[in-house]
Amino acid sequence: MLLFVYTALSEPLRAYLRQHLPPGVEAVFRTELPESGQQAAFRRAELLLGNPPAHWFDEQLPALRFWQIDSSGFEPYCHLRPTFPVANMGDYFAWPCAETIVAGILALYRNIPELAVLQSRQQWVGQPVRATMRLMLGKQVIILGAGSIGLAVREQLGGFRCRVQLLARTNPAAQLHSREELLAALPSADLVINCLPGTAPGFFSRELIEAMPAGSVYASVGRGTTTDEPALIAALQSGHLGGAVLDVTAVEPLPADNPLWTMPNVLLTQHSAGGQPHEDDGKGEMLLRNLGHLLAGEPLENVVDLSRGY
């Protein structure tokens, strides 16, 4: 069987995969092919690792038997209706994403960005900075989304005795299940953390942003397209919101003329939240496990329904 690896992997990891693939599986790596031959190899493949351009699926792929997506999100592919099983990385990135967004919020509350700038200038201010410090302790928090990232965020906030409500349409563990319930809860929220997938474009609208209380903080680690970014910028510029921590933005990389770059009350983490040591090794191990399950006729890990978005 031919495995086409779209993911750009290091040479040692490519060698590792070749050594550990099940018997009868041969790997072809996109990064080892000329550009002119990459789609041809993709069309011949029976197995696939990675996230190729969505238009590569416009043609019929009668040979493809299994697709291992190398991310948790897969919004570009939600229009596809594959006849073969598809799996993603499940909760592999959830804890790192939660750590980043919680760390960013703490940094904003504790004025770490300003202190880092002062350090770079060798400028000791000390006492006046103390008066600007805020606490995470006991904050009223709304987390948008009750998936693996949202649950990891909630778990990490437990150490700060935060009072957390989750928003999710159908998850019985959530406290909020509709936009109307969210709108009613927002005026008492100190902090809103958006963990929504890209299948909810524009969900956090101007109306919802304006319903947040003065001085509250907004954070986003889901997809930038789920936030009304112009409305968010306006709320930050006016002082209505006390700050924002954004791992994701509507356009990435963030354009140089976007005002988010220069706002002192905004911390940008540049879609780095899922980063972790040996990140690509985990993708390879997930592929190997699922290939073993596939060939043994066993249930696959992290199977997703593209049409439903999860």
Q: Tokens standing for 137?
A: 């302790």
**Which whole-number Å values give the CA distances from 67 to 19, 42, 55, 73, in the listed order?**
20, 11, 16, 14
Task: Single out the catalytic residue among 223, 240, 289, 293.
Answer: 223
DSSP-assigned beta bridge partners for residue 76 = none
Task: Single out the catalytic residue among 20, 177, 271, 293.
Answer: 271
Residue found under tokens 């999710």: 168
> Catalytic site residue 278?
no
> Catalytic site residue 79?
no
Question: Which is nearest to 223 in space by CA: 244, 259, 243, 252?
Answer: 252
Instruction: Report d(CA 5, CA 9) in Å as an integer.
Output: 9
Query: Is residue 57 helix, strand or coil?
Result: helix
Distant-in-sequence, close-in-space partners of 305: CB < 8 Å, separation ≥ 6: none
Instruction: Strand 191-194: give its sheet, edge to edge.
Output: 163-167, 140-144, 191-194, 217-220, 243-246, 266-268
User: Which residues belong to the active site?
Assistant: 223, 271
